[in-house]
Amino acid sequence: MVNHSLSRVIRNPNPQYKANGTKSYVYLLNKYKFSPTQPGPYSLGGKVQQKGKHGLGRLFGRPAHVQRVLQKRSEAAAEPVAVPAEDQQNDSLYLSPVTIGTPGQVVNLDFDTGSADLWVFSPKLSKTSGHSVFDPTKSSTFKKTPGSTWQITYGDGSSASGSVGTDNVTIGGLTVEGQSVELAEKLSSQFSSGVGDGLLGLAFGSINTVKPKPVATPVENMITQSDIPKTSELFTAYLGSYKDENDVDHGVSFYTFGYIDKTALAGQTPWYCPIDPSEGFWQFKSATASVNKTKISRAGNTAIADTGTTLALVDDKTCAAIYKAIPGAKYSSRDQGYLFPSNTPLDKLPVVSFDVGGKEFAVQKEDLAFASAGNGMTYGGIQSRGDLPFDILGDTWLKGIYAIFDQGNKRFGAVVRADATQDPSVPE
C-alpha cells in the first residue's frame, strides 16, 4: 500500500473533436456488435470464426463462433462493402491524464466504463505523430509479462494489438503498483487518427482481452492493494459540457477514485441500485422510461452506464415516443438516426427519464441535441439500440447525473446534476 493524496482527475475536452451523429452510431455498431432495427446504410453481416474472445466485441452470453462484420450498402454497389475508417467516429470527446512508469510519463486516455483494457501507444508503432507515447525502456519499474498478448478486433476488421507488461500507474494522486499495461504495437489507421493516446477501461476484468489470462483493471487492483479505503471501493464520474461554461460548475468534468466528491453531491443523498456484472458491464434494471411524465413500461429491461459512449441507445418503442413528442422530428434512413429541427425551443423539447433500479433520472434537455445533421436539423442524442438486449446510457444521459460506480458493493449510484441554464444548440 502506498500513501496517496486523492484528487479529481480532470476530463479535458478534445479541441479537435467534431461531433457527427451517424459516425458515432457506426462506432457503437462496431463496439457492441448489434444489428440495427431501423433502416440505414450500415449493418452487420455474419462471418464464421472458429473461436476467440473479443472483449467488447464478444457475443453477449453466448460463444463467439460467428464474427459479426460491419458493412455498408450504397446505391453504387450491388453487395454491401466494408466500412471505411472515415465513416466512423474514431476520436474521443474527452481525455484524462494518466502517469505511467518511473520517472512518470503522462498520456491522455479515454476513460471507458464499457471496456476493461488499459492500452497505450508504444514506440513500436509506425505512426505516433501527435500522440504521447509510453516508452517502457525509459521506466525503471516496467516489467515485461512473458507470453502475454492482447488484441481488440472490431466488426470492420480493424484491430489494436501488442504485448503486455506491468508498471506503476498514477491516476488522480493514487499510484497502482504493478498494473498491467497493454502496449499497442499494431494499430489500424482509425486508432491513430484521433488525438487520444489509448484507453483506460473501467468495466469488470472478465471482459479484458489479454491472453492467455485476463488481467485485473486499475480499479480492481486499487481494491486488492488497499490503495483506496475499504469503505470507498469506488470511482465516480461528473460529466460536464462546454455548454455549461456560465453555470456554477463552469462545465467542469472529472473522475474521482476512492472517494465521493461532496461538492458534486450538492447536499443530496445518492440513490443506489444493485448491478449485475456477469457480462462485465455496469448493468442495472431499467424497467421504465418517461416522456413528459408519461410512463413507458419496459418489464425485464436493463441498461448499462457507459462513459465511453457519447449517445444513449434505447429500445425502439421508447425512441419513437421521444421523437413523437418533438415537433418536426423524423427518422432519417440516410443519417440512420432520429433528427429534429435545430431551432426547436426548450419548452418544446420533452423531459425524458430512464429508470435506475426503481428511480428515474432525466436527460438534460440540452443533451437531447447531439450534432448538426445539416439543413436546419439536429441529430438526436438518443437513438435506437437495434437488437441489443439492453440500453446503453452514455454521455447524453450521464451528463444529467453525478454517477457513482461502487465496485466494492456491486452497486450504481446517482444524484441529479441540474444545470441552471440549458443550451440546446449544436455547432454547425
Read off the DSSP letter of residue 84. Answer: P
Question: Catalytic residue among 306, 335, 391, 395, which?
Answer: 306
Distances 105 to 21, 136, 280, 318 between C-alpha atoms, Å: 34, 10, 29, 45
Q: Is 87 a catalytic residue?
A: no
Strand partners, 291: 294, 352
Q: Is 112 a catalytic residue?
A: yes
Q: What is the DSSP string of 351-406?
A: PEEEEETTEEEEEPGGGGEEEEEETTEEEESEEE-TT-SSEEE-HHHHTTEEEEEE
Question: Catalytic residue among 87, 112, 156, 227, which?
Answer: 112
In contact, 239 and 312? CB cutoff 8 Å: no
Q: What is the rounded CA–CA span in Å between residue 38 and residue 336?
A: 7
In contact, 295 and 329? CB cutoff 8 Å: no
Chain length of the chain: 428
Residues 6+ apart with CB under 8 A from 29: 36, 42, 43, 44, 70, 155, 386
Q: What is the rounded CA–CA span in Å between residue 138 and residue 6?
A: 26
SS3 content of the chain, % helix, strand, coil (to 5): 15, 35, 45
- What amino acid positions are annotated as catalytic residues? 112, 306
